[in-house]
Structure 1
């Protein structure tokens, strides 16, 4: 769906002081890219779209071309047309009172959705649910660290100093209220900015490491909009943090000896009347919920290349760390990958705990929901729920997640189910981008290479 020009006309009339607009979309790697435009350039985007090179969808994390995709020289670096996403034209207060933003999605010149745009990839999966009269209801839950802009004397990261004491936090202090209060000004601006952008941001907690926080976006029966919210939220969290002289990082594992940052997705499925089809007096949920879990469990290895998209992503998966390591599910159990949550029967749903905060929200939801739909369609049995220590159960069974970046990308490349749901061309291009990143990342010689091998080799 493309936004109507009336949305822009109404916004401009209501915000005569906004003179600049940032237009943005996400590449496969999930990094927002775009342009800053002047006020008079906004309406033409709603009338005609904005022409941008299709190759930008397949750049690497650092924004460099991935020539093996064939979308650079062979394609003539050709333009596609980007059109505004409804409901995403909003103020961007952290950039100044005179700045707004709008999200775009990419189309071919003939008007068909570009099959490499992550937003359209998710839409493709949602159409499978719609055809069956089903609606996924999702909520995104992101963990991240607040860190100092300046590194320590040896180049190390440091948790952000608190505003009231000027000291970096010490100790874990999970669910600690003083840790939230000490960054109260940041959270106040974060919530106010989220409200200004119509992002349904809920409460904050201090997570399982110094400087780590978690906030949840409320459940929505519109998974596409939920992904838009997550992309916009990550952007505003980084921007608001910088306006307070600190930095918000969604890197999966900033410290080796501290908790990684996850991207937990809460999922249920509703019928056309909005009834929760996962609801059940049984704590394990309905038959449909079990089938969803069966599909997600069966394809966990296949989707790891999307849920853990970077080299650093895999440093997060460690036993007894609250990051899952196995093909496991359970009830009210945070040691497993797929957790059926506690609560009243009508709220029954599953929390998918595998993705890292560094992953692309559109692709995370697309991959997870594809696996869940396949479970429903094939009535996949998830097997018995794990009771007790999920890490021990995974070790005992040997049913563990892929442990490195290369294996995860290979699993995705070879998955017939993911190719069916996400698109053959998308999977080929995504795999090509990730293999290019792998080659570039591992050809770098780092200080760690010197520490380990300069004298010892």
Structure 2
């Protein structure tokens, strides 16, 4: 047995038990969250000391164009890939026995490459750790199952269900609606089990063919890894049954958009106590400051939470997406919601991010805003009472506006890293310029199966 086997987690070992491991996929997530990397025979992986990719994988847009970063020559130097064996898991849809392994990325001196999304998230978490704090997140994934769409000029349609009828809208939480594509759901469960992932629940959302998958709370890096894997897993499960899974924020006109809601709490690293709750169960000043920081700084990172022009089609009143950064307890019309919970589970739900986001970057950006609130002791606005759709929009409604705010946000850029922010802005400016030359067919062609 090769030496690297001893580093594999139990689900990966169980998957290849009594089988010949054929292939290893060495993967990383680019700025869009697309899996990039190399596949190689397992025997070669076991004997090769280092793996490399050019840094240009972080300079490519979702449409395949390339960005130039001011002050940096386009020389495509190699980056070193370092396997994180804790992420090793099955690729159960492949024809042979294959494992996927997410790799960290270092430069030639062994330092983390600051523009790699996974490193951006690690950088933000390290700033919490320096304060003796540990952030906890719980993401929710929404996505659509849709009919195959090979013509970008054609509108996206709901899939055909087992009844022979297209999936119906306005059937939130319907068991019969989700049974229409039960075989896809079965494969999602089977793939997730083979990969060692926990699913907290799957339900029918409000859109035609729209599904929500909930994940258990935990470490932000681990859960970002799982979302990264889940997007691929879900697409593969759908393709097995002749349909597409899409994570576009707004794939179908007049239907609700797909969000990636992020629940946040923060615990004391030594005691494990939730810093949002006092010993008597009441909310602490830190809880208010975290909300205040999100209200103050989230507008500056909307370009990360809503990273494409299509993302802004989701922010429509009365279609399950927020239009402002009001906060309230158990109110789904606000951008920041405090769910019903006991003191130990007191948390804030950020409802802004779309499912088209890069999970590493969206979680990093959301955590950065809360961190600044804790550091600056920012007080939030009063709790909102009533329906927040009746209040004015308080964050950018177009991608261009979001990029302008992002480039001016010095405090947020300090937390995320200046090099990353410069690169991200350069890539997104090229994408935005491309969109301005086209209309919605561009969105369908490049976002439908990629984001």
Map 1:121-270 to 2 at 5 A: 121-150=120-149, 155-162=154-161, 164-220=162-218, 222-270=219-267
1:444 shift after superposition: 3.0
Of 147-156 and 423-432, more deviation after overlay is shown by 147-156
Is residue 7 from structure 1 mapped to residue 10 from structure 2 by the alignment?
no
**1:31-430 pair list within 5 angstroms:** 31-44=34-47, 48-68=49-69, 74-150=73-149, 155-162=154-161, 164-220=162-218, 222-271=219-268, 272-279=270-277, 285-393=283-391, 395=392, 400-430=394-424
* Aligned 8 A contact 2:29 2:117 in 1: yes
Q: For residues 27 and 273 of structure 1, do their structure 2 counterparts lie closer, same or farther at Cα, with a shift above 3 Å needed?
A: same
Match of 1:442 in 2: 436
Alpha carbons 1:149, 1:247 under 8 Å: kept: yes
Does structure 2 conserve the Cα–Cα contact (< 8 Å) formed by 1:8 and 1:43? no
2:449 maps to: none
Contact kept in structure 1, 2:265 and 2:346, CA below 8 Å: yes
Cα displacement string for residues 321-379 of structure 1 (whole angstroms, at most 9, x for unaligned residues): 21111121111000001100012232211110000000000000111101101111111
Partner of 1:454: none
Q: Give the Cα–Cα distance (whole angstroms) in 1 for the partners of residues 198 and 301 of structure 2.
A: 27
Secondary structure at the aligned position of 1:363 is classed as helix
Q: What is the CA–CA distance in structure 2 between the aligned matches of 1:27 and 1:154, rounded to whole Å?
A: 27
Q: TM-score, normalised by structure 1?
A: 0.90
| 1:169 to 1:410, Cα distance in 2 relative to 1, 3 A | same
Taking the aligned partners of 2:357 and 2:441, their CA distance within structure 1 comes to 26
Q: What secondary structure does 1:439 align onto?
A: helix
* Residue ranges of structure 2 left out of the alignment (5+ in a row): 443-451
Name whichever of 91-100 and 109-118 sits farther off: 91-100
Q: Relative contact order (alpha carbons < 8 A, sep ≥ 6): 1 or 2 greater?
A: 2
Q: Give 1:170 deviation, angstroms.
A: 2.1
Greater CA deviation, 121-130 or 62-71?
Answer: 62-71
Residues 8 and 86, structure 2, Cα contact 8 Å, conserved in 1? no
Aligned to 1:453: none
The residue matched to 2:200 in structure 1 has which SS? strand
Q: Distance in 2 between matches of 1:286 and 1:49?
A: 48
The answer to whether the 8 Å contact 2:68/2:426 transfers is no
Q: Which moved more, 1:421-430 or 1:57-66?
A: 57-66
For residues 441 and 239 of structure 2, what CA distance do their matches in structure 1 show? 28
Following superposition, the deviation at residue 102 of structure 1 comes to 1.2
Preserved contact between residue 8 and residue 85 of structure 2 (Cα < 8 Å): no
Which stretch of the first structure deviates more once superposed, 361-370 or 96-105? 96-105
Distance 1:43 1:360 in 2: 30
SS in 2 for 1:145: strand
How many residues end up aligned between the 2 structures?
Answer: 436
Cα deviations by residue, 1:396-428 (Å, 9 ceiling, x for unpaired): xxx511010011011111101111101111111
Per the alignment, in what secondary structure is the counterpart of residue 86 of structure 2?
coil
CA contact (8 A) 1:151 1:157 kept: no
CA contact (8 A) 1:9 1:43 kept: no
Report the RMSD for the aligned CA atoms in angstroms. Answer: 2.4
How far residue 200 of structure 1 moved from its aligned partner, in angstroms, is 2.0
